[in-house]
Structure 1
Amino acid sequence: MTTPSRPDTARNASPYLYGTELEAVSQVLADGQYGHTAVTEQFEQEIARYLGVPDAVAVTSGTAALHCALLAAGVGAGDEVVVPSMTFCATVQAVRAVGAIPRFVEVNPDTLCVEPDAVLAALTGRTRAVLPVLYGGRAVDLGAANDTLHERGIAVIEDAAHAFGSRLNHLRVGATGALTCFSFGPIKNLTCGQGGAVIPRTSAEARKLRGLRMLGVVQSQAERQATTGYTVDGFGLRYQLSAINAAIGLAQLRRFAEAEKTRRELWCAYRDALRPVDGVTLVDVNVSHSVPHLCVVRVRRREQVFRLMKERGIAVGVHYPPNHLQEAFKPWYRPLPVTEQVGEEILSLPFHQHLTVAEVHHVAASLADAVAQAQAGGAQ
């Protein structure tokens, strides 16, 4: 009799490819033009069409998108940016890259996203932007804060690195009026291998962003090839998305409905499997409106549970250690008791499109055992 194979939950998340990416990249390589080309511009157009917005500006990464968006919004030295501490450090490093000051705020412990009242309470006379993080793929609705932010000229710049494809009510994230930044990194909902995009609010902002991502040069590649010169109209960086990466993104976008379906099904499988487990709280991503990027739980005695899960060969992680406790951001420390508490409890479960529902159930059962073992050990 054959022994059933053990579910492969030890592997870390890796890009999920559909098979068409290789042909798309091969075509770019055969064409011999690897920089920002018409392929990049086609990717921008198709992203904009998918989101239902007039324009999208592709860049090299989600961090580059945040950096460019902050610059385009006029955020600079000495300005304050309201930002949750519960995010990847890239969010805060982008704030520091423009010389601005992070003003850390609490998150809702059930969603790990900021709430309007926390944002309003954090505003000062120096606040120039609010940077909500769409944690795990959940859209953030600042609701009652929006009128105040608009009246005070404070930009809303969304870190939507986790949230490509998600919705706020009936609108896709990116189409809700904020200056939205996406990541198309290796393991994001949609990957370019490496890449990102900014969704501008106006045509003037789109032009500004295109200059910023191309060393201040405002002409497209086709326009530059048709003349003997080009114009540099301001500061810029080398943040343009290569045709190779754009080709991967185009292939991914054409299959994105599959990613959306699979990610929702896997998250719901975790939700159902974990519902009866004592001592485990699932962080809510509002799955009916989201394309989930993470599956995160809160557990007591997290360090013991983490170790026990690793011993069982399950690739758990922590997203993220709170930034206001990091040495690099110590000058801007504020006490955030909710964030500090959840920072000691959060545990990311394996979540990627290579998973099967059977593997999800294996992870959930292992987590139940690990939590029970950790609690029993703590009671001794």
Structure 2
Amino acid sequence: MTAPARPDAARNACPYLYGQEAKAVARVLESGQYGHTDVTEEFERRVADVLGVADAVAVASGTAALHAALLAAGVGPGDEVIVPSMTFCATIQAILAVGATPRFVDIEPATLCVTDQLVKEAVSDTTAAVVPVLFGGRAVDLGTVQEELDERGIVVIEDAAHAFGSYAGTQRVGTTGALTCFSFGPIKNLTCGQGGMVIPRTPEDADTLRRLRLLGVVQSQSERANITTYRVDSFGLRYQLSSIFAAIGLVQLDRFATSEHTRRQLWRTYQDALAPLEGVTLVDVDPDHTVPHLCQVRVPHRDQVFAELRAQGIGVGVHYPPNHLQPAFAAWRRTLPATEQAGQEILSLPFHQHLTERDIEHVVSALGQSLKSAGGSRCATC
């Protein structure tokens, strides 16, 4: 009979709220104004201030952020977008939504991120954009290929869904000149319950994004309150961020320094606890510069280990099955050895701010025992 999982170890990921979010939402509800209001605009200003950028455009989700950024960059039918297969399927769906096609590229095994060399090898005459995925929160440096991308007019759109608060060197992700897309979904480093953000490159980008998120309408919501008509001059979608969600985000921003510190400490606790396990490789997120979103290991006999830990009530997961092997994306399938190997080995351990050191010790002990029974590892302390 297996020991029951500790309560917080049973969840792979879950939101962490600080207690003031409910009051902030209640104030919005009491106002009677639930749509895009000054609360949403305050959230945009606060995110821009935290990042040190001129502007930030809030949208309904991280997927909406990617879709809107691709549209704002003029990516469309006939264009090819370089993207790693190792990402959530939302990244690929956003590319398909603008009529472009994905050009899947491989990853660097230690980080699960794309590299500048892999991008350089994939660039073609039809490449319109590169979408590096900041996997687990780690920044991606396109250094040696960036000049070529600029010369060819190829836009970089960062999928930073995992990476709010992380750094690229000494600069926050979102400040390095790319169109950067964040997610504020339920389990992200900073949550709104649901939501996303695009960091524009220019005022023109910001204007385009604001029209896109409001059905192509030129006038803002406050401007429309004082006129009898409005003008629609471009394609658009209903991608606004509700003030209900923005209110949650504002509270989360007030506590983000605590979240940032806690997530780094949890990852380092895992790093120390996992060290005695032979045959286990911890995916490197560079915790000195990253606000970690995941804690992932690569293990032999992954499917057996996954099943055994789940049977014990431990909330392990797999992030993510490679997209180039998915039926929906079969038309763009290529051989990607590092991605395919990682897809067979990666295991996401429970990682969220409710975890305690004791929870982590419990997870790692169970992992060691599961590996031992699978014949994949020996542990000096298990």
**What TM-score comes out, normalization by structure 2 length?**
0.96
What is the Cα-based RMSD across aligned positions, in Å?
1.4
Partner of 2:161: 161
Residue aligning to 2:18: 18
Separation (CA, whole Å) in 2 of partners of 1:11 and 1:133: 24
| Alpha-carbon distance in 2 for matches of 1:207, 1:4 | 53
Choose 84-93 or 5-14, whichever is displaced more: 5-14
Residue by residue, what CA displacement relative to the aligned partner does 1:93-116 show, whole Å, maximum 9, x if unpaired? 000000100000000000000000
Contact 1:309/1:316 (<8 A) preserved: yes
**Helix, strand or coil at the partner of 1:34:** coil
Alpha carbons of 1:8 and 1:242: their partners in 2 closer, same or farther (altered >3 Å)? Answer: closer
Tell me the distance in 2 between the aligned counterparts of 1:247 and 1:325.
39
Q: Is the 8 A contact 1:92 1:102 kept in 2?
A: yes
Question: For 1:373 and 1:149, how far apart are their aligned partners in 2?
Answer: 49
Pairing 1:334–2:318 present: no
Matched with 1:109 is: 109
Determine the C-alpha separation between the residues in 1 that align with 2:139 and 2:5: 38
Instruction: State the alpha-carbon separation in 1 of the partners of residues 349 and 237 from structure 2.
Output: 36
Distance 2:162 2:198 in 1: 14
How far apart are 1:59 and its partner, in Å? 0.3
Assess if the C-alpha contact under 8 Å between 1:7 and 1:358 holds in 2. no
Deviation of the 1:153 alpha carbon: 0.3
Matches of 1:127 and 1:72 in 2, distance apart?
16
- Report if aligned partners of 1:207, 1:218 keep a CA contact under 8 Å in 2: no
Identical-residue share of aligned pairs (%): 66
The code of the aligned residue for 2:367 comes to L
AA aligned to 2:193 is G
Q: Which residue of 1 aligns with 2:188?
A: 188
| Conserved 8 A contact 2:6-2:362 | no
**Which amino acid counterpart does residue 20 of structure 1 have in structure 2?**
Q
Letter in 2 for 1:265: Q
Is 2:221 the partner of 1:216? Answer: no
Shift of residue 358, structure 1, vs aligned partner: 1.1
Say which SS state the counterpart of residue 251 (structure 2) adopts. helix
Give the aligned partner of residue 260 of structure 2: 260
Distance 1:205 1:9 in 2: 43
**Larger mean Cα displacement after TM superposition, 151-160 or 224-233:** 224-233
Aligned to 2:275: 275
What is the CA-CA distance between 1:7 and the residue it aligns to? 5.6
1:343 counterpart = 2:343: yes
Shift of 1:308: 1.2
Partner Cα separation in structure 1 for residue 59 and residue 376 of structure 2: 50
Q: Which amino acid aligns with 2:337?
A: P
For the 8 Å contact 1:78–1:100, the answer to whether it is kept is yes
Residue 5 (structure 1) shift: 9.4
Check conservation: 2:104, 2:334, Cα contact below 8 A.
yes
Match of 2:27 in 1: 27
Distance in structure 2 (CA, Å) of the matches to 1:214 and 1:330: 34
Distance 1:165 1:140, change over 3 A: same
Number of positions where the alignment pairs a residue of Structure 1 with one of Structure 2: 375
**Residue 170 (structure 1) shift:** 1.0
Q: CA deviation at 1:42?
A: 0.5
Q: TM-score, normalised by structure 1?
A: 0.97
Q: Report the 3-state secondary structure (helix = DSSP H, G, I; strand = E; otherwise coil) of the residue aligned with 1:91.
A: helix
Gap regions ≥5 residues in structure 1: none
Correspondence 1:1-380 to 2 at 5 A: 6=6, 8-375=8-375
Instruction: Measure, in 2, the Cα distance between the counterparts of 1:12 and 1:361.
Output: 15
Q: Secondary structure at the match of 2:157?
A: strand
Native 8 Å contact 1:85 1:105 kept in 2: yes
Q: Specify the code of the residue in structure 2 equivalent to 1:19.
A: G
Please identify, of 116-125 and 368-377, the stretch whose mean Cα deviation from structure 2 is larger.
368-377
Specify whether residues 91 and 43 from structure 1 end up closer, same or farther in structure 2 by C-alpha distance, changes over 3 A only: same
Distance 1:342 1:235, change over 3 A: same
* Deviation of 1:8 (Å): 3.7
